[in-house]
Structure 1
Amino acid sequence: MIAPAPAAAETVDSTAEAATAVVATAQAETPVEVEVAAITPAPSDKSTLHVSRPTQNELTLTINGESITLHPEQLGQLIEELAHARASMQPEPPSGIPSGWRFVTTKNPMMAVQKQSNGDRLLVARHTGYGWVPFTFSPDVVVQMYMMLTQR
């Protein structure tokens, strides 16, 4: 089941009141493959990363002086690859929300829900920055979420 809703993005700092910023979404004119090369600096060297935003639909990454400009479709592909890599790394992200963490929320995202053969539910929500983000919930967690979301 897909529940479409208008998506607005909000930039949020976990230590302050929510600040709202509307993010327009756009597609790159031509899809281009992005190859991410592993950078192996000499042991005494420190890698440097600089991120800049020359225009609304471009992001420039500069790593050790080498720059690449990415457009929305390329950036989405990179985000997906980074998420796959991070999911297999240790240590896992912190279980608590870090102080001062900044994030972008999507209000009323489109969602799809599917029942799995073991009774779990797959929920896929469309985030304006991350794209489609999947989560799997066991039946007891679905009940807990329902109770939390409907609590007054």
Structure 2
Amino acid sequence: MDKLSIPVKYGVAIAAGLIAYFLILSLLGLHVNPVFSLFNGVIMAYGMFEAIKHYRLHKGDKFKYQKGFMASLLTGFNATIIFTLFFGIYATELKPDFLNRLITVWETGYNTHIGIVLFVVAVMGFATTLVLTLAYLQLFKDSWNTKEAKKHSL
């Protein structure tokens, strides 16, 4: 198995889940309310957990914290980049009035453009990825508090 296949496969799956959720919200007219983006974190959390679990199972005893960290980061970054690209296409090509409807929920005194909105979407995805990676790898790393680990350190 290629070492990038898990981050790519799960990154695309997470992005597909995020896009599907966004499109469902769009059909219901709820996609302009930013509070619904909180569920994006749940989608991202589930997908990244599954990716790290799969990577850990694939590596077995050869699982290293650093490699798991990179696999998890790449998974989240792939999902974030794909979703941000979709969001940009949606907001500029598919529904050009979407940005105006989204911004009216917030203060309208700012001169907000699509670039700033895409930057915020990307930063939110990258931040979520980093936090989830650090949290999940605490679950998947080997403990140093076992008898075997103490024997190896002597």
Q: Report the TM-score when normalising by structure 2.
A: 0.25
Q: Structure 1 or 2: larger strand share?
A: 1
Q: Structure 1 or 2: larger helix share?
A: 2
- Give the structure, 1 or 2, with the largest relative contact order (CA under 8 Å, sep 6 or more): 2
